[in-house]
A and B are shown apart, each in its own frame.
Chain A
Amino acid sequence: MEPEAQGSGTSLIKTVLWLVVLILIVGGLIIYGKKGGEEKEASKEPIKVGVMLPLTGDGAPYGEPARNVYLLATEEINTAGGVSGQPLELIIEDSKCNGKDATSAAQKLINIDKVQIILGGFCSSESIAATPVAAAAKVALFSPGSSSPDLTGISPYFFRNYPSDASQGKVLAEAAVAKGWKKVAFLQEQTDYALGVFKAFSARFTELGGTIIKEEVPSNTIDFRSVLSKLKTANADAFFLDPQTLPVAERVFKQMQDLKWKPVLMFNDVVGGAPETLATYKDLMEGALTAEFTADPNNPKFTKLLAEYKTKYGVDLLYASSYGPTEYDAVYLIKTGIEAVGNNGEKFAVWSRTVKDWEGASGKTTIGADGDRIGGHTLKIVKDGKAEVMK
């Protein structure tokens, strides 16, 4: 311990110095904020749209490709003449897949950058926490990735073009019963999306007389072997894999191969819409049931997105079947919306409810009065490494 008397004189000076530094920081923020406000006055300035994404922490694997998709779409729009002649500018903030950072990011975007529309959040936790902030400031919040059923009708200022979890669980439960399956082994990743799918599935499946043996694993799990061994001994009619992301699914499939376990499979749309994964684990997949909402892999906008992403970033688009197309569509929907009603959060949110059969990379988008994407999942069956629509 330092002698108190000796250090107190210098430490006081240092305290004062640090306080000065902090005041400068805060002052800088205010000045920057004012400057941001003035910039907005000029009409030739770009249209600023806020973006909230998880760029660090556990959510970063989704946030990075999303950012790339947003930038790609923005670049396309701007080279094609922008939005009503003005270029589109994205202001990207890290919301770390949690409520606290999402509210901070939303406050910053709304009050410093004066945006009218925020693209995000990605995680449902981000959207749920940021919605009150956006609603209070009359700013529209548009999520291409949050699927929690809690977001349905949460606020007139929130809407999404990613479907709620509820639809696919129900579709799959009914299909399983139709197949005559009585007992399903279920592996769920502990995230809000996967839990939502499970809830919808189990509600319908048990209602129809089925039983479920369920195991949950935290998101950072990489060793599934014992969980799989346990589910294997349950001798269920089918094994439902309910992950949040594709890498988790691939780890599970690889470890299933290592364990030489070949059950009848079911999985959510994360896996169902990943053609490469289906092809890689072809022998495991035969006859597997899945549900998808991006119905058409031959959609020209979808194939264009895949090709351009590959050209620009040199890697394949991740989450190509799920978030990728909705993210891409979201930027174009914002363009369409601003051209229709101007860069105004309130009007844009009202306009969003009028979107009907809008053609995009994720198929036809229709937004309902509760802010949810209308149109459920289509049941598919995997044959020879390809998902086909089941009759």
Chain B
Amino acid sequence: MDIVPQLIANSLIAGSIYAILTLGFNLTYSTAKFIDIGFGVETAIGGYSVFYLCKTLGLPLYFGIFLGLFCSGLVSFLAYRFIYKPLRARKASGTVLLIASLGVLTALQALVAILFTSQFQTLSGLIQANRVFELLGGTFTAVQLSIFCTVLILSVLLAFLLKGTLFGKAITAISDDEEVAKIVGINTERVMGEVFFISGMIGGLAGILIGFDTGIEPIMGLSWLLAAVVAAIVGGIGNLYGGLVGAYLLAFAENFGIWKISGEWKMAIAFGLLIIFLVWRPRGLFPR
């Protein structure tokens, strides 16, 4: 039996989750210019919101997902409003913001664990039949197919948002030069708050999809975040679409690495890729 088609399918699935996370991460990085570790916890918040609303309270699924996205967006916005905004107003360095966001991650994931215990949970019970498809010797499920489609839809939506709306132009202006954007009359703080809200929602969306596909636990944030950061750097940090390429490249490297090397070196492979890129192509495949 040939393993390659299946590995390609596996890589596409894993890469799609990384891609969603990388989109969210790059959105805040390109505007706020710091590595927001707290972004990782939005996955747990999104996933557990749906878990609580739909599994425990029994609300309809679409309603739960909607509220879950809102919750993760809100948490991200509040973290910006009360922590990152004052820090940025003081011209704090990227490292200070990074450590503050680490505090956000630590505190919030512990809160999630208090509310929902540390047990591993899945959302897959919420949908009845998860059909398995077969294509050219690789198998994938309906959930995995929808994850892949989510990446496409999300990319198109973000492209429209950034290129086609005034709000998007404001974001682009801020990411080019925040001071100038302020001078020409853009309410940078408000835009930034909205960016954090949207990026939180994207993180929550990834968490919900992870919950449907494999499962969620409170301390999942850091490892997913690190994957997103690696993908972002490989693709060219701050470059939304470069990040997509980086995400799939990372997933292919990991999954083919499992085949050619061994499963236990998966994390080392991912970070080896990061170091290789930092050494030979520090601005990524597609520098902005």
Q: Do A and B contact each other directly (Cβ–Cβ < 8 Å)?
A: yes
Counting chain A CB atoms within 10 Å of each CB, the highest count among B1, B119, B134 belongs to: B119
Is B165 engaged at the interface, CB distance under 8 Å to the other chain?
no
- Which residues of chain B are near A251, meaning CB under 8 Å? 214-215
Q: How far is the CA of A233 from the CA of B6 in the complex (A)?
A: 11
- Which residues of chain A are near B144, meaning CB under 8 Å? 258
Which of A79-87, A219-227, A281-289 forms part of the interface with chain B?
Answer: A219-227
- Which residues of chain A are near B254, meaning CB under 8 Å? 226
Restricting to A182-233, which residues have a CB under 8 Å from any CB of B? Answer: 190, 215-218, 220-223, 225-227, 229-230, 232-233
Q: Are B7 and A318 in contact (CB under 8 A)?
A: no
How many of chain B's residues have a CB under 8 angstroms from any CB in A? 42
CB distance from B164 to the nearest CB of A (A): 35
Which A residue sits closest to B260, measured CB to CB?
A230
Is A247 engaged at the interface, CB distance under 8 Å to the other chain?
yes
Q: How far is the CA of A64 from the CA of B217 in the complex (A)?
A: 14
Is B31 engaged at the interface, CB distance under 8 Å to the other chain?
no
Which A residue sits closest to B118, measured CB to CB?
A60
Is A44 engaged at the interface, CB distance under 8 Å to the other chain?
no
- Which residues of chain A are near B134, meaning CB under 8 Å? 260
Size category, A interface:
35 or more
- Which residues of chain B are near A216, meaning CB under 8 Å? 262-264
A221 touching B266 in the complex, CB below 8 Å, given contacts A251-B215, A260-B139: yes
Q: Are B6 and A259 in contact (CB under 8 A)?
A: yes
Q: Are A56 and B259 in contact (CB under 8 A)?
A: no
Q: Are A190 and B132 in contact (CB under 8 A)?
A: no
- Which residues of chain A are near B1, meaning CB under 8 Å? 232-233, 235
Selected contact of A217 from candidates B3, B124, B214, B264, CB within 8 Å: B264
Residues on A facing B (Cβ under 8 Å) = 56-58, 60-61, 63-64, 190, 215-218, 220-223, 225-227, 229-230, 232-233, 235, 245, 247, 250-251, 254-255, 257-260, 318
Selected contact of B263 from candidates A217, A245, A247, A255, CB within 8 Å: A217
Is B285 engaged at the interface, CB distance under 8 Å to the other chain?
no
Q: Are A258 and B217 in contact (CB under 8 A)?
A: no
Q: Are B124 and A260 in contact (CB under 8 A)?
A: no
Is B141 engaged at the interface, CB distance under 8 Å to the other chain?
yes
Q: Are A64 and B132 in contact (CB under 8 A)?
A: no
Q: Are A229 and B120 in contact (CB under 8 A)?
A: no
Q: How far is the CA of A254 from the CA of B140 in the complex (A)?
A: 12
CB distance from B267 to the nearest CB of A (A): 7
17 new A-B contacts, CB < 8 A, other than A63-B118, A217-B266, A230-B3, are A57-B219, A60-B113, A61-B120, A64-B117, A216-B263, A223-B10, A223-B13, A225-B13, A226-B258, A226-B263, A229-B259, A230-B259, A247-B215, A251-B215, A254-B124, A258-B141, A260-B134
B interface majority secondary structure:
helix
- Which residues of chain B are near A229, meaning CB under 8 Å? 3, 6-7, 10, 259
Residues on B facing A (Cβ under 8 Å) = 1-3, 6-7, 9-11, 13-14, 110, 113, 117-120, 122, 124, 130, 132, 134, 139-141, 144, 210, 214-215, 217, 219-220, 223, 254-256, 258-259, 262-264, 266-267
Q: Nearest 3 CB-CB pairs, A to B?
A: A60-B118, A247-B120, A216-B264
A257 touching B124 in the complex, CB below 8 Å, given contacts A226-B7, A229-B10, A318-B119: no
Q: How far is the CA of A220 from the CA of B219 in the complex (A)?
A: 10
Cβ contacts A to B, 5 pairs, < 8 Å: A57-B219, A216-B262, A216-B263, A221-B263, A225-B9
Q: Are A232 and B264 in contact (CB under 8 A)?
A: no
Selected contact of B258 from candidates A58, A227, A254, CB within 8 Å: A227
Which A residue sits closest to B1, measured CB to CB?
A233
Q: Are B139 and A259 in contact (CB under 8 A)?
A: yes
A257 touching B264 in the complex, CB below 8 Å, given contacts A220-B223, A233-B3: no
Which A residue sits closest to B223, measured CB to CB?
A220
CB distance from A197 to the nearest CB of B (A): 16
CB distance from B133 to the nearest CB of A (A): 10
Q: How far is the CA of A217 from the CA of B214 in the complex (A)?
A: 16
A61 touching B217 in the complex, CB below 8 Å, given contacts A220-B223, A232-B3, A233-B1: yes
Q: Are B262 and A215 in contact (CB under 8 A)?
A: yes
- Which residues of chain A are near B130, meaning CB under 8 Å? 258
- Which residues of chain B are near A235, meaning CB under 8 Å? 1
- Which residues of chain B are near A220, meaning CB under 8 Å? 223
Q: How far is the CA of A251 from the CA of B134 in the complex (A)?
A: 20
Q: Are B139 and A258 in contact (CB under 8 A)?
A: yes
Which A residue sits closest to B257, measured CB to CB?
A226
Counting chain A CB atoms within 10 Å of each CB, the highest count among B6, B141, B210 belongs to: B6
Q: Are B120 and A226 in contact (CB under 8 A)?
A: no
A61 touching B119 in the complex, CB below 8 Å, given contacts A227-B258, A260-B132: yes
- Which residues of chain A are near B14, meaning CB under 8 Å? 223, 225
- Which residues of chain A are near B220, meaning CB under 8 Å? 222
Which B residue sits closest to A65, measured CB to CB?
B119
Q: How far is the CA of A243 from the CA of B213 in the complex (A)?
A: 20
Q: Are A230 and B258 in contact (CB under 8 A)?
A: yes
- Which residues of chain A are near B215, meaning CB under 8 Å? 222, 247, 251
A218 touching B267 in the complex, CB below 8 Å, given contacts A58-B219, A251-B214, A257-B132: yes
CB distance from A284 to the nearest CB of B (A): 13
Q: How far is the CA of A60 from the CA of B140 in the complex (A)?
A: 32
A226 touching B10 in the complex, CB below 8 Å, given contacts A57-B219, A60-B118: yes
- Which residues of chain A are near B214, meaning CB under 8 Å? 222-223, 251, 254-255
Counting chain A CB atoms within 10 Å of each CB, the highest count among B1, B7, B214 belongs to: B214
Counting chain A CB atoms within 10 Å of each CB, the highest count among B210, B258, B259 belongs to: B258
Q: Are B124 and A56 in contact (CB under 8 A)?
A: no
Q: How far is the CA of A37 from the CA of B162 in the complex (A)?
A: 67
Q: Are A227 and B263 in contact (CB under 8 A)?
A: yes
Which B residue sits closest to A63, measured CB to CB?
B118
Q: How far is the CA of A355 from the CA of B262 in the complex (A)?
A: 45
- Which residues of chain B are near A225, meaning CB under 8 Å? 6, 9-10, 13-14, 255
Q: Are B264 and A64 in contact (CB under 8 A)?
A: no
Q: How far is the CA of A355 from the CA of B39 in the complex (A)?
A: 53
Q: How far is the CA of A233 from the CA of B110 in the complex (A)?
A: 41
